[in-house]
Amino acid sequence: MILKHQTSSRKYAIRHSVICSLIVLFCASVLSALVLVLPLNAYPEYSNSKKFSTISMCLGTMVECQIDGAEFQDVSLPVYLPPVRQAGTHVATFQLEFDRADIDSDVAAIFLPRFADGLRLELNGDPISPNTDNFERYKDKPFTRLWHLPFYTTFTERRLKETGNTISIELEAYNFTQITLSPVYIGDAFRLRIANQFRFVARNGYIRVAFALQVGIGGFLLLLWLARREDTEYGWALAANLAACLTCWHYILPNTPFSAHAWTLIWNIAIQVYIYALYRYSRKVIKLPSSRVTIVWVTAFCLLSSLTLCFIPVQQLAVGLTYYHIGNGLLALSVPYLFLVNLRSNPYINAAHFMIFIMAFSFLARDFIYIYVDPDRAIFQMGQFVPLLVFTIITGLLLTRLAISLNQAESLQQTMKQTIEDKSAEIVAKENQLAVTRERHRIMLDLHDGVGGQLVNTLAYMRGKKRSDPVVKSSMEAALRDMALIIDSLEGYEDLSTLLGSLRSRIEPLLDENQIRLLWHLNGTPNIETNQRSNNLSIIRIIQEAITNAVKHSKAETITVSSDDRSITIIDDGKGFDLQKARQKTGTNSGMGLEGMKHRAQEIGIDCHIRSTPSGTQVQLLWPT
Amino acid sequence: MSKETSTPHTVLIVEDRIYTAKTLRADIDAHPALKAIAMAHNVADALQAIQQHRPRFVLVDLGLPGGSGIDVIDAVQTVSWRCECVVISIFGDENRVLEALRAGAKGYILKNDPHRNIGKQIMDLIDGGSPMSPKIARLLLKIAQSGVNSHPQNDNDIPNLTGREMDVLQQLSYGFKRKEIAERLSVSVGTISTHINSIYGKLNVNSNIEAVIFAKSKKLL
């Protein structure tokens, strides 16, 4: 039975994870598809400008291609020349021709929205790109990587010919990167300048701002982490943030003091660190039980793949990076997957995380397609938007979580405060009760040791004197019994039966003295709301009175006390008395008298029936049903 | 018995009321097996008298000037010779009597009962026939019943009574005599006495019964 249950729950778990995987894939593909088919035209037509979508291309440097017979072929733009297996760099030269009349503007300019990597530009044989005005001198130096910027420059009017102007573009790239050239615009300087600025803002400018913001968020995460070291999710978010900053730096300044190869390794591994840190962050946020095995596997995978990447020869780096990022993509996909599978543990926070990570994944997938699969399918890169987007959302979610925690803490505090108040009140009440109990106990002891001791002592004295007044003696004995009765009632026994039992043990000396037999037939006692201390006292008083009356006045031989759930009855076999006469004697005797008994019974809501015949007397206390 | 007649048990009376003490002394001396050797009227005198006279029994009142009879009982527990305490009480004092029994008193007798010979009561007690009042029975029953629902760790504080012993306590609390209980439960009087002695035996453990009663009644446990 248990086994069956286990298998069925495992089956359910498998089905559950399959469904979740499908949802992740579905969301990722829908979002990616949406991003892919977004009507983002990266290279629109600009007014008063001419867009060149075809260009003649020669695989070689500008100098090599100036030789007669150099092979030029027409290619359509954008063009992407894949990485090559040869050592060093690869170069291509592009040429296009235009007439002055093509430009419907007084000031002419050229605008390259996108190219890679190093750029040399000539108009009619004159260099116009700033880095290349003296290019023989820089021939042996590494070229300046400019892929992250658009290029824009105006033409000097005197250099322009009426017809047959030639633009030569030489592009150089490392063997593991591709040569890229977007359509070339020549036309109105003002219009193209705006387009250039827009391009700049969308790529490099945006990333610079994003970088600054990320550093700020990093500082915030650092503070959070320092404040709550045990919540390692802040630490992992911080790690992801640092890795993202490193990758962003590549967009800001692609040229570093290291070799291009080393830097490429660094910023690509930073991408993996970013994903790995987000994975760890996710496990923490979801509060998954720390599974050492899983962590070890994931960490080993990352370390091994990064290490392998480092040892791949530079010619194979492009291929290596492709597989490297496929692996990273799988790891990245597990992040939204985790949030989806554990949606129930914290629905809103986890759903928000799922959405943002699926979106980030699709953006990165688009970049992957652009770089490694086919640039034409994703002509517009979007990866640069991921880090800031993710960190803004993450920070927002962390703040939300913090606010929720604060609310919970406050309400908990409120509850605790309430509990403390309640408990305090309870303690005060208990202390009061305790004080009352103590005081009652003190009175009881005073009665017992003081009055009781005095009465016993006096009785002992009278016993020693031999000749003592029997009325005084019996009155003192009655006083002693009464005192005991008061103590009994003060002690607060809940049930009448114990009080009746106590009464019996007290009354026994009196019965022995008068040689009266007591029959004790207790079959339960009335147990109703009259069981309050003062009520119990009254009931016992009435019974004590009935018994002492029988002892003193009836000349009875036997007294029977019986009880059941509704009544207590005292019967003697004495000579009885005249009820009428007895009533008139009320108050003259030491006891309370018949009227007193009835009156007391009435006060606590029970009936007292007294019947007396010459063969005996019956006093019955009857509780209402 | 003949041995006891030849050398009567020595008794120290600790009672602050002079006439009560005198009556007790007369009653004890009237019994051939007992001899009152001294009287003390407060705790300090009593402690001194115990050392001085080395009595076999100490008859002790609980409400004494300058301390409680419990102090005397405590002192008696540490003496080197065989010495036992018997509490003398009036009535309506069962809580304190219970405390005294727990402190090590052998039993208790009622001092205001001229019709029951004090000497005989003491001798009965020596032979193991301690009386048990309805209220003491009720108190013990309450403690035992509270123990049923409590944690096992607290077993030390609660006498572990058998079902039969609880039945006997129940009947005692209703005021029934041993003979009547024997009839009601269809056993011999001797069996009932055995039960009662067993209950006293279980009571005489070093535990804080008062605390348990208080805790139970205040629902702290």
DSSP chain B: -HHHHHSPEEEEEE-SSHHHHHHHHHHHHHSTTEEEEEEESSHHHHHHHHHHH--SEEEEESEETTEEHHHHHHHHHT-SS--EEEEEE-SS-HHHHHHHHHHT--EEEETT-TTS-HHHHHHHHHTT-----HHHHHHHHHHHHHHHTS-GGGGGGS----HHHHHHHHHHHTT--HHHHHHHTTS-HHHHHHHHHHHHHHH-SS--HHHHHHHHHTT--
Digit-coded pLDDT (tens) for B76-132? 988 888 888 888 888 767 778 888 887 888 888 877 666 667 888 888 777 766 777
The amino acid at residue A33 is: A
A464, A491, A506 ranked by CB distance to B23: nearest? A464
Same domain, B121 and B40: yes
Report whether pLDDT(A84) > 90.
Answer: no
Is A457 in Cβ contact with B91 (below 8 Å)?
Answer: no
CATH architecture of A2-39+228-409: Up-down Bundle (1.20)
Element (H, E) at A248: helix A232-252
Q: Which 3 state secondary structure label does DSSP give A317? A: helix
CATH number assigned to the domain comprising residue B27: 3.40.50.2300
Pairing verdict, β B107-110 and B84-89: parallel
Is A498 in Cβ contact with B138 (below 8 Å)?
Answer: yes
Is B111 in Cβ contact with A502 (below 8 Å)?
Answer: no
Is A484 in Cβ contact with B92 (below 8 Å)?
Answer: yes
Name A52's bridge partners.
Answer: A184
Superfamily of domain A50-196: Galactose-binding domain-like (2.60.120.260)
Average pLDDT of the segment spanning B130-141: 79
Find, in chain B, the residue whose alpha carbon is nearest to that of A501.
B175
Cα separation of A587 and A185, whole Å? 130
Domain with CATH 3.30.565.10 in chain A: 494-622
Cα separation of A270 and A358, whole Å? 20
Percentage with pLDDT > 90 across chain A: 17
Same domain, B18 and B96: yes
Banded pLDDT at A40 (limits 50, 70, 90):
low
End residue of a domain, out of B92, B108, B126: B126
Report whether pLDDT(B164) > 80.
Answer: yes
Residue B135 and residue A498 in contact, taking contact as beta carbons nearer than 8 Å: yes
Q: How many CB atoms lie within 10 A of CB B6?
A: 9
Cα separation of A109 and B90, whole Å? 124
Percentage with pLDDT > 70 across chain A: 89
Residues of B in Cβ contact (< 8 Å) with A501: 133-135, 137-138, 172-176
* Strands laid side by side in the B9-14 sheet: B34-40, B9-14, B57-61, B84-89, B107-110
Cα separation of A478 and A480, whole Å? 5
Same domain, B180 and B111: no
Name A90's bridge partners.
Answer: A173
Same domain, B34 and B86: yes
Banded pLDDT at B154 (limits 50, 70, 90):
very low
Burial class (CB in 10 A: 0-12, 13-18, 19+), A68: exposed
Is B116 in Cβ contact with A500 (below 8 Å)?
Answer: no
What are the backbone angles phi and psi of residue A421, rounded to the nearest 5°?
-60, -45
Same domain, B27 and B122: yes
Can you say how many angstroms the Cα of residue B108 is from the centroid of all Cα atoms in its chain?
Answer: 3
A452, A505, A512 ranked by CB distance to B175: nearest? A505
Same domain, B92 and B140: no
Pairing verdict, β B63-64 and B57-61: unpaired
End residue of a domain, out of B98, B126, B154: B126
Cα separation of A222 and A227, whole Å? 8
Average pLDDT of the segment spanning A452-481: 83
Same domain, B19 and B109: yes
Place of tokens 């009287």: B39
Report whether pLDDT(A593) > 50.
Answer: yes
Residue B51 and residue B57 in contact, taking contact as beta carbons nearer than 8 Å: no
Smallest CA-to-CA distance from A548 within A478, A468, A601, A452 is with A478
Residues of A in Cβ contact (< 8 Å) with B95: 441, 491
Burial class (CB in 10 A: 0-12, 13-18, 19+), B194: middle
Report whether pLDDT(A273) > 90.
Answer: yes
Report whether pLDDT(A1) > 70.
Answer: no
Average pLDDT of the segment spanning A544-558: 86
Size of interface A-B (CB pairs under 8 A): 115
DSSP symbol at A468 = -
Domain with CATH 2.60.120.260 in chain A: 50-196
Same domain, B18 and B119: yes
Does A454 contact B at CB distance below 8 Å?
yes
**Predicted local distance difference test score (pLDDT) of residue B124:** 78
**Predicted local distance difference test score (pLDDT) of residue B155:** 45
Cα separation of A351 and A336, whole Å? 9
Q: Which of residues 391-450 of A touch B (CB under 8 A)?
A: 430, 433-434, 441, 444-445, 447-449
* Strands laid side by side in the A73-76 sheet: A73-76, A54-58, A89-98, A165-174, A118-123, A126-127
Residues of A in Cβ contact (< 8 Å) with B221: none
Element (H, E) at A224: helix A206-227
Same domain, B38 and B66: yes
Name A569's bridge partners.
Answer: A562, A620
A455, A460, A500 ranked by CB distance to B175: nearest? A500
Please name the residues in contact with A390: beta carbons below 8 A apart, sequence gap of 6 or more.
A240, A244, A278, A356, A357, A360
What tokens appear for B94 in the block?
A: 């069962």
Q: How many domains does chain B have?
A: 2
Cα separation of A36 and A368, whole Å? 12
Pairing verdict, β A79-81 and A49-52: unpaired
Domain span at B60: 2-126
Residues of A in Cβ contact (< 8 Å) with B61: 453
Cα separation of A616 and A558, whole Å? 10
Domain with CATH 1.20.1070 in chain A: 2-39+228-409
**Predicted local distance difference test score (pLDDT) of residue B106:** 81
Same domain, B55 and B163: no
**Predicted local distance difference test score (pLDDT) of residue A65:** 84
Residue A177 and residue A116 in contact, taking contact as beta carbons nearer than 8 Å: yes
Cα separation of A105 and A46, whole Å? 13
Lowest mean pLDDT among A468-477, A571-580, B4-13, B65-74: B4-13
**Predicted local distance difference test score (pLDDT) of residue B206:** 41
B26, B63, B176 ranked by CB distance to A453: nearest? B63
Digit-coded pLDDT (tens) for A101-116? 888 778 889 999 888 8
Is B218 in Cβ contact with A456 (below 8 Å)?
Answer: no
Cα separation of A129 and A599, whole Å? 124
Smallest CA-to-CA distance from B181 within A503, A522, A497, A526 is with A522
Same domain, B145 and B110: no
Lowest mean pLDDT among A156-165, A454-463, B120-129, B132-141: B120-129
Beta strands in A410-499 (DSSP E): none
Digit-coded pLDDT (tens) for A214-243? 899 899 889 988 988 888 888 999 999 999
The tally of CA atoms less than 13 A away on the side-chain side of residue A35 is 26
Does A105 contact B at CB distance below 8 Å?
no
Residue B85 and residue B104 in contact, taking contact as beta carbons nearer than 8 Å: yes
Digit-coded pLDDT (tens) for A412-443? 999 999 999 999 999 999 899 888 888 888 88
In sign, the C-alpha dihedral spanning B28, B125, B141, B96 is positive
**Predicted local distance difference test score (pLDDT) of residue B131:** 74
Is B96 in Cβ contact with A445 (below 8 Å)?
Answer: yes
Element (H, E) at A581: helix A579-584
Does B82 contact A at CB distance below 8 Å?
no
Q: How many CB atoms lie within 10 A of CB A464?
A: 12
Report whether pLDDT(B8) > 60.
Answer: yes
Cα separation of A309 and A269, whole Å? 9
In sign, the C-alpha dihedral spanning A130, A132, A138, A143 is positive
Question: Which of A272-276, A336-340, B186-190 is predicted most confidently?
Answer: A272-276
Cα separation of B79 and B74, whole Å? 10
Q: Which of residues 517-546 of A touch B (CB under 8 A)?
A: 520, 522
Pairing verdict, β A517-522 and A54-58: unpaired
* Strands laid side by side in the A151-154 sheet: A49-52, A184-188, A108-112, A151-154
Element (H, E) at A555: none
Same domain, B10 and B92: yes
| Torsion of Cα atoms, A100 then A103 then A105 then A107, to 10° | -70
Report whether pLDDT(A49) > 70.
Answer: yes
Does A457 contact B at CB distance below 8 Å?
yes
Cα separation of A200 and A387, whole Å? 18
CATH number assigned to the domain comprising residue B159: 1.10.10.10
Report whether pLDDT(B4) > 60.
Answer: no
Cα separation of A195 and A42, whole Å? 11
Report whether pLDDT(A581) > 80.
Answer: no
Residues of A in Cβ contact (< 8 Å) with B90: 448, 452-453, 456, 480, 484
Residue A561 and residue A520 in contact, taking contact as beta carbons nearer than 8 Å: yes
End residue of a domain, out of B57, B92, B126: B126
Smallest CA-to-CA distance from A506 within A533, A532, A486 is with A486
Alpha-carbon separation of residue A333 from A26, A29, A151, A285, A433 (angstroms):
12, 11, 36, 17, 66
Banded pLDDT at A585 (limits 50, 70, 90):
low
Is B113 in Cβ contact with A452 (below 8 Å)?
Answer: no
Superfamily of domain A494-622: Histidine kinase-like ATPase, C-terminal domain (3.30.565.10)
Banded pLDDT at A532 (limits 50, 70, 90):
low
Residue A601 and residue A567 in contact, taking contact as beta carbons nearer than 8 Å: no
DSSP symbol at A145 = P
Does B111 contact A at CB distance below 8 Å?
yes
Find, in chain A, the residue whose alpha carbon is nearest to that of B184.
A521
